[in-house]
Structure formats: C-alpha cells, structure tokens
Amino acid sequence: MQNRTIGGRAVSAIGLGGMPMSIEGRPDRDRSIATIHAALDAGVTLIDTADAYHQHADEVGHNEELIAAALRSYGGDTSGVLVATKGGHLRPGDGSWTKDGRPEYLKVAVKASAKRLGVEAIGLYQFHRPDPNVPYGDSVGAIRDLLDEGVIEMAGISNANPDQIREANDILGGRLVSVQNQFSPRFRSSLPELELCAQLGIAFLPWSPLGGIALARSGELGAEYAAFLEVAEAHGVSPFRVTLAWELALAPVVVPIPGASRPESVQDSAQAADLTLTDDEVARLSAAGA
C-alpha cells in the first residue's frame, strides 16, 4: 500500500470509513470485524469513525467501540494505525442528525471518544460539522485547547468551506492537518476545498468518495457515469477502483476514506492505490458529469 501524509504522519493512501458498519443497514458484528481485519490485511492504516456513527440513542460511539474491538482482536501489529474520529454531530435516535458545537460539549465528547477507543490521546480528532448556533471560532478554539492539552495529537475539521478552513488553520496556529468533506463523481462542489488543501499542504479526506452508500451498494456508479465504467473496462478493474484512483490523482494530499461493510469491498478499494491512470484518463474523468 502506498502512503500519504496527514500532519507529518504516514498513512495508507486509501483509508477505511467505518460509518456503514454502524448505521441503518449495518451488517452483523462478525462481518464488521472481518471487514476491518480485511482492511488491515490490505495495508490500510487510516480508519475513520465518529461518535455519531450509530442508530439508537443509547449506543453513542457504536462505531468507535467496534473499531477498538477489531484492533484488539487483530492478530498483527496495529501500532501504525491512525484512528480518526469526530465530534459535534449527534443522532438523537429518531433517524435525524443534529449539531452541537459548544466548546464545553466538545471537550466532554472527545474524552468519551478516547475512552471508547481505549487510548490516552486521540490520534486525529475532527470537528464534525459547523453548528449555526455557535461561532465557528469558538468550536475550533475548543479543538485547539484539546490539542494544546495533549488530549488529541492532531486536529482536523469536516464539512468546511474555504473561509472556515483558513479560519480554523489560523486559530490552530497553522496546525490544521485535515479537512474531511464530501467529494465524489456525483458530488464535486468541494473541489475548491480540495484545491485549497493542496495549496496549504493539508490532507483532504473525501467522505462518500464513491457517491454514497446507496450508489455504492447498488453497483450503479458505472451506469451513472459512463466514463468511469469505460476506463474501468480498459484496465480490467471495477469502476469503484477507478473512482478512488482518480481522486488520488487529483492532488497528493487526497486520502479517500471509502466506507465498507464487506471484506470484498475494502479489498477492492485498497487496490486503487496501485492503479495508475494516464493524464488523459484523469482529464476525461474530471470532465465526466461536471
């Protein structure tokens, strides 16, 4: 597995998104553990989670606990695995998503996440989503405090626009290491954020890089975006693998975190790091559906 960098730390060029293993439609626990183990076997050293990845109100942190259990039960060395989690987004249990960016809430949430993950300091903690009821600078200021106190080792943000990226980096004293935004062939409105991260040397982590759980599970990505299917057929690989290889080719700071709930899915995704696209193919895919 090729490596990329988050805040000076080497991670696999393809990460694993844990959300599908804990929300609606999730698999049983054994299959989830097998999926995480398959990712580790494939060389994945970045796993993305959040305390809000759960279904019911009484199981906050379901995905964090699942990942911690999978790492404990893995037979190999996991010391090089970076687990990135997030706070500030909540699921009250009725299927909705709410926000809480209050500094006092984030400082409690991060310690609860660390306990579930079984770590003294969280490797990468990201503010999950801006709260319109709380000044953005106040929320990021709490992340800065956690970084200064050593509660977290690295700080990032998620679902941010260019102004928020600049503001967060200023508040953090130039220590912003990651931005996690939605980006895929279907959703390209975060291209300005990707380009800004490339300019600043900040890792850009596309979430739903295959276009979302529904599109990935249905296998319709190639049908919706013909160019991706055609390039995939030329290389003898899946359109999903081509999609991730295309995202990697956009900038050296891009580290896709495709979600998975089956070992086969993560094994296919991991091989995208070894798929080299020509400049013409990248340009063709960038133009498709734009």
Q: Within 10 A of 120 (CB to CB), how many other CB atoms are there?
A: 10
Is the torsion defined by CA of 65, 129, 168, 194 positive or negative?
Answer: positive
Task: Considering the candidates 53, 125, 136, 225, report the single residue annotated as catalytic.
Answer: 53
H-state helical runs in 118-238: 136-149, 162-171, 191-200, 213-218, 221-224, 226-235
136 catalytically annotated:
no
* Dihedral angle of Cα 149, 151, 153, 154, to the nearest 10 degrees: -90
Residue type for position 192: P
CA nearest neighbour of 184 among 225, 124, 229: 225
3 state SS of 189: coil
Taking every pair of C-alpha atoms in the chain, what is the biggest distance, in angstroms?
A: 53
Distance, in Å, from the CA atom of 265 to the CA atom of 133, rounded to the nearest integer, reads 38
Cα dihedral angle (184, 244, 78, 53), rounded to 10 degrees?
Answer: 20
Kindly state the helix (H) or strand (E) to which residue 85 belongs, with its residue range: strand 82-87
User: C-alpha distances in angstroms, 244 versus 71, 172, 207, 227, 277?
Assistant: 25, 30, 11, 14, 11
Instruction: Dig out the tokens for 183 from the structure.
Output: 């980006």
Q: Which amino acid is at 191?
A: L
How far apart (Å, rounded) are the C-alpha atoms in residues 67 and 37? 10
Positions annotated as catalytic residues are 53
